[in-house]
């Protein structure tokens, strides 16, 4: 089974990937569509050259690599960014279990802006997430929408509830991992994963940061309607 995790950036998505990577019955892939996203949008993101050199740069190539990995594992966890998957045919995910992770836009923007100074609404992926979430009504697999901060309130209990919702058993190994970079990390890890590489498990949710500066505040306000619509549908632990 494919467990398809969809989020925006800076959403504890890498820690969640590490959590599933601890399970002996799972393989994981870190942002399999990132290379195709960078190639088609001509964006100058940190680690771009390494990503384009080592990852498929077409949607077809990305899907082929996913299906090949699926054949090698009992289960496969895909960590995907919603905005990387615009115009991707999700037909191969019809039977997948979908976990959508969201986080308050102010937290996402404040973290993202530390790496890339110019942040746009499309960088956050919330518009895409809302569209993709609604489109899942046409798919047969289970789906669950989770606020990452709510999950962090009690990782053992809440990960257990998430596993149950998607039809797998919880594994205690999901709660801890070794510090440092991992073989599953995408080649962009030196630019984005410094904090998560210091972790050995889930930390506490951070409080809402101070109000953002003018331009970033406007971006937050633009993102809030999409976040609020998604947040109203989140899983109740």
pLDDT digits (tens, 9 = 90+) for 114-161: 888 789 999 999 999 999 999 998 899 999 999 999 999 999 999 999
* 236 within a domain of the structure (yes/no): no
CA torsion through residues 104, 107, 111, 112, sign = positive
**For residue 42, is pLDDT > 90?**
no
* 132 within a domain of the structure (yes/no): yes
Alpha-helical segments (H) within the chain: 13-21, 34-41, 48-54, 59-70, 105-112, 121-124, 126-135, 148-152, 155-166, 189-192, 214-231
Cβ–Cβ under 8 Å, residues 23 and 174: yes
Q: What is the mean pLDDT of residues 199-212?
A: 94
Total tally of structural domains belonging to the chain: 1
Sorting pLDDT into bands at 50, 70 and 90, what band is 43? Answer: confident
**More confident: 69 or 113:** 69
* 202 within a domain of the structure (yes/no): yes
**For residue 16, is pLDDT > 90?**
yes
User: Which range has the top average pLDDT, 10-14, 77-81, 189-193?
Assistant: 77-81
Burial class of residue 104 in the structure, from the number of CB atoms within 10 Å of its CB (0-12 exposed, 13-18 middle, 19+ buried)? buried
**Residue range 171-191, pLDDT digits in tens:** 999 999 999 999 999 999 999
CATH number, domain of 87, equals 3.40.50.300
Average pLDDT along the chain: 95
What is the predicted pLDDT for the residue at 118?
87
* 237 within a domain of the structure (yes/no): no
Cβ–Cβ under 8 Å, residues 123 and 83: yes
Beta-bridge partners for 143: 98
Burial class of residue 228 in the structure, from the number of CB atoms within 10 Å of its CB (0-12 exposed, 13-18 middle, 19+ buried)? exposed
**For residue 23, is pLDDT > 90?**
yes
What domain range is 50 assigned to?
Answer: 2-231
Residue among 123, 128, 118, 127 nearest 108 (CA): 123
């Amino acid at each position: 089974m494919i467990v398809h995790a969809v989020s925006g950036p800076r959403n504890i998505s890498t820690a969640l990937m590490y959590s599933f990577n601890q399970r002996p019955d799972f393989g994981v892939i870190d942002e399999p569509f990132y290379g195709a996203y960078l190639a088609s949008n001509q964006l100058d993101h940190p680690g771009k050259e390494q990503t384009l050199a080592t990852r498929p740069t077409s949607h077809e190539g990305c899907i082929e690599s996913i299906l090949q990995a699926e054949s090698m594992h009992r289960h496969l966890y895909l960590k995907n960014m919603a905005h990387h998957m615009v115009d991707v045919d999700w037909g191969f995910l019809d039977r997948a279990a979908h976990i959508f992770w969201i986080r308050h836009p102010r937290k996402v923007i404040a973290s993202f802006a530390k790496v890339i100074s110019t942040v746009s609404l499309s960088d956050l992926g919330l518009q895409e997430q809302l569209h993709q979430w609604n489109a899942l009504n046409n798919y047969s697999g289970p789906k669950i929408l989770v606020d990452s901060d709510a999950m962090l309130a009690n990782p053992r209990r809440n990960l257990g509830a998430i596993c149950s919702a998607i039809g797998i058993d919880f594994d205690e190994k999901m709660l801890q991992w070794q510090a440092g970079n991992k073989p599953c990390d995408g080649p962009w890890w030196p630019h984005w994963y410094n904090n998560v590489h210091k972790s050995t498990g889930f930390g506490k949710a951070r409080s809402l940061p101070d109000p953002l500066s003018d331009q970033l505040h406007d971006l937050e306000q633009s993102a809030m309607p999409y976040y609020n619509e998604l947040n109203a549908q989140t899983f109740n632990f």
